[in-house]
Amino acid sequence: MATIDIGGTTAESRAGTADLNDMPELPAAVGEPIEGRVAFDGARAFALPGVGLGRHTVDLYWDELWIGEDEAAEVIRREYARLADARHEQAMAAIEGEAITAGGTTMRILERTFGDEPEGGHSLWISMHGGGGAPAEVNDQQWRNQIRLYELEEGIYVAPRAPSDTWNLWHQGHIDPLFAALIESYVVARGVNPDRVYLLGYSAGGDGVYQLGPRMADRFAAAAMMAGHPNETTPEGLRNLPFAVLMGGEDNAYNRARVAAEFGEKLAALRESDAEGYEHRTIIYPGLGHWMDRKDAEILPWMASFARQAWPRRVVWKQDDVTHDRFYWLAVPEGTAKARAMITAEVSGQTITIESADVQSCTLLLHDDLLDLDQPISVIANGTQVFSGTVRRTEQAIRDALAARFDRRMAPSASLTVSW
């Protein structure tokens, strides 16, 4: 039984399959917007457009009614816990079986754990091996070497084995969902802190860091590229991901040393124009070649000093040739992402400003860590106001977001699609 209140007049609804002739009736002014509240399992609000003369039947769905900030946080906690419980057995089996599967592709993993588990859970370090373009036994040797390459003060250190033996081990489109599944499995089964996931890789694994860092920046707290080559990748998407470039000064194959220095210069230029973004370090070791005598391990404490920015106030999203439907609090409809398309979005107070020459529509995934959802917001796209009003939190928005991306820290409580 639910109690409905409109303008101080209340009535009780049997809900469910009750006879339409037994529905409550409440008065409303003709043509005037209607606002009310429903008391059921707590209290939630709603709004309806004005109606004409006569009787009108309205369906109200509990999950679509408005909720407050505290209730939104509780819904996120409860819904995430329900989904995590349902996924726990499968996640544990994958880790214990040392194999992660996503999209029909399987990736083997090796693991080492360091230090005591801190409050909030262990950190997770994903470390990609080199090799590529070689027989399987060569890449297997590189993989087994990678699990011994670094030691941590604290954390779970995982070395995945690339599913293929091609030169572009970590560039291919199957890697992104595999890494997402790896992270989700360790968060669910091992209690890893989702805001303390780190990415690193050596040689061909460094190529992978260059590629995956910008396109999966919203999954990681920091990334470090060791002795790799960026190929076509550019650094714009690293705005909110601290990124390190480490290279031997004599690593001249494929011009790696020169290209690494140039990539560092690009990061420095971006930092110069955006002082709150593009945290980075570039270290070129004089006299060292492709093997850096383990000096590159010095970057691990720097990486560990950062936590993921789940709700950054400025986002620069540049698609790669492997595209994504979501990046931080921006999203595009599934299957519509375009390679190399770029969107810049920024929150200032209650105003969101979007700039893009490549995209004409996007969905804003909103949370009170980003702006105050109890107050009206304004959205300006390419200099034109495309929305002004209040965007309401709903349980349905939370459910939809967690179903699309299983990440409790990045679950929005409201969403808004705008076009320009």
- CATH number, domain at 265? 3.40.50.1820
Same domain assignment for residues 60 and 160: no
Q: Does residue 75 lie in a domain region?
A: no
- Among the candidates 282, 304, 326, a domain finishes at 304
With beta carbons less than 8 A apart as the criterion, state whether 354 and 345 touch: yes
The pLDDT of residue 162 is 98
Q: Report the predicted TM-score, pTM, of the whole model to 2 decimal places.
A: 0.90
- For residues 138 and 220, membership in a common domain is answered with yes
Question: Are 324 and 345 contained in the same domain?
Answer: yes
> Which pLDDT score is estimated for 52?
64
Is 78 among the domain residues? no
169 contacts 140 by C-beta, under 8 angstroms? no
- The DSSP secondary-structure symbol of 156 reads E
Residues 6 or more apart in contact with residue 272 via CB below 8 angstroms: none
Are 371 and 286 contained in the same domain?
A: no
CB atoms within 10 A of CB 123: 25
Residue finishing a domain among 65, 81, 107: 65
Residue 24 lies in a domain: yes
Pick the last residue of a domain from 21, 40, 65: 65
pLDDT value at position 388? Answer: 97
Question: What is the extent of the structural domain holding 153?
Answer: 98-304
255 and 364 part of one domain: no
Same domain, 341 and 300: no
Q: Are residues 292 and 325 in the same domain?
A: no
CA–CA distance, 345 with 329 (Å, rounded to integer): 9
Q: Which amino acid is at 406?
A: F
71 in a domain, yes or no?
no
Q: CB within 8 A of 9, min separation 6: which ones?
A: 26, 27
Q: Based on the fold, state whether residues 234 and 169 are members of the same structural domain.
A: yes
**Alpha-carbon gap, residue 168 to 63, rounded angstroms:** 45
Q: Are residues 200 and 103 in the same domain?
A: yes
Closest CA to 26 of 45, 7, 41: 7
Q: Outline where 248-354 has alpha helix (H).
A: 256-273, 300-304
**The 351-355 sheet, strands edge to edge:** 314-318, 342-348, 351-355, 377-381, 384-389
Same domain (yes/no): 261, 389 = no
**Is residue 127 assigned to a domain?**
yes
Q: What tokens appear for 210 in the block? A: 């260059």
CA-based nearest residue to 321, from 304, 301, 341, 306: 341
What pairs with residue 199 in β-bridges?
126, 223
> Is 91 among the domain residues?
no
Looking at residue 34, its pLDDT comes to 58
Q: Sign of dihedral through CA atoms 326, 327, 332, 335?
A: negative
Max CA separation in the chain (angstroms): 87
Regions of the chain with pLDDT less than 70: 1, 4-11, 14-22, 25-39, 41-43, 45-56, 58, 60, 62-63
Domain match, 290 and 323 both: no
Proportion of the chain above pLDDT 90, given as a percent: 83
Asked whether residue 102 falls in the same domain as residue 177, the answer is: yes
Domain count, the chain: 3
- The answer to the question of residue 18 being in a domain is yes
